[in-house]
Structure 1
Amino acid sequence: MRFRCPACNAVRSANERLLGREIKCPECGAPVQLPSASDIEAARVARENEKVRDRELARVRAELGRSLAQTVLVESNDPDRNEKRIASEEKALAAAHTDFTRPKPKQQEDMDMTPMVDVTFLLLIFFMITASFSVQKSIQRPAPSKEEPSQQVIQQEEDADTVTIQVDEYNAYNVLSVVGDRVASSKQDLIIALNDARNGAGSKPPTKIVIEAHENCIHAAVVAALDAGREANFESFEVTTVEQFD
């Protein structure tokens, strides 16, 4: 069989055993896809059908020409018959040119999801950055003012229902309870000391905390003491400011 190279436009021959395979052009070396036997047969059938349609069209045109030559004088005097003749000719020409082959369905392109995925990740990153993952525990309490008169420590009687937390000027904690005194340097140590004070009080654990804050301590240390008391399951709190501890 003979084939034409699409790269160099050279016409060459190939063995029929190579039908349907890809070979290299002997002239330029470009890859050439040879048609398969079914493709050749389909092309041959298409050419035969085209020839049949051409012959049929030529026959119809010849018949129309002869009919027109025979009746042109008669039809010129009959307008209705002339219109019918024109309609029949149009139908014959339309039937000769009608192609009954089924059109190939259009291939639908796949939707590219890459932009949608990018937008989704950008929104996710935005919400992760702007969202608040923790709520700081605090109690609204105005900071102590030096202009106000200081409050002196009132010596309280030993009460088994009360635990006293002293916050010194270095923001360290001293826990006073019926169990004993204990120093805590951080919030976690303070929580442990308060739990020990509750557990060591016997059948009736203390429920109230009195916080004695030094006037030079920071406000955050007092807030941390209140948070520790809540985490240790204390119910009521009292905060006082002192100039010094006895």
Structure 2
Amino acid sequence: MTLLSVFTLLLFFIGQITVTQSGSVTSALGDSVTITCKTNPKVHEGTFHDLHWFQQRDGQIPKPLIQFSSQRVTGIPERFTGCGSHSDFTLTISGVQVEDAAVYYCQSKHYINSQAVFTVKKLVVDPPHHVGDVRPSLTVLPPSREELQQGKATLMCLANKGFPSDWSLSWKVDGSSSSSSISWEESRSPGVLQEDGLYSWSSTLRLPADQWKKVGSVSCEATQGSQTPLSETLRRDQCSQS
């Protein structure tokens, strides 16, 4: 079961103003997570309660989710809801998704000096049923007959269900990563986080069809840190269209 864990990272004290959030909360995918935010003294109350929620995904700037305690920002999914008043507020994520992994900010504004006070929560994906690295499975797909007729050859390497995200894919042609007689191009897609908390990747090998006809075999190799490399080989004579 994939778990989503919320951890308290930071607590600010500014003068006599404090803002705190709940401790660790755990939820399975599809369940609900509720994050609490408690202020002392109560937030500034004009027409609305001056308490706001933000989400910051890895490598991105903070994005507003909820304004004035309960007003969902345009474009935010309905699974995000906020409520509360005075000093007690909550952010609830109903039907938690993998993409909800982020840092969550609670911002309150108080009448005392109109100070904005931030606290931080982090929602992280905890991959299930394993500790440490998971070796992905590799599949090498040959070029299509239609593409070969156009004078091109594209091979795909699919790496499925690995962990962590920094597995690297590379190619070897006839056992070598470079060749003076055959030239090719490689490209790699970034890792995609799956619902089970594991990652999938792909890499592409491109070369002219006439050079593909000279190839005996191609291998896709996956490496990560000190792990033993993982390799999958495709022989050209296995491909009926070649």
Which TM-score band applies after superposition, normalised by the shorter structure?
under 0.3
The TM-score with structure 2 as length reference comes to 0.19
Q: Which has the higher strand share?
A: 2
The TM-score with structure 1 as length reference comes to 0.18
Q: Which has the higher helix share?
A: 1
Q: Which protein shows a greater Rg?
A: 1
RCO greater where, 1 or 2, for CA within 8 Å and sep 6 or more? 2
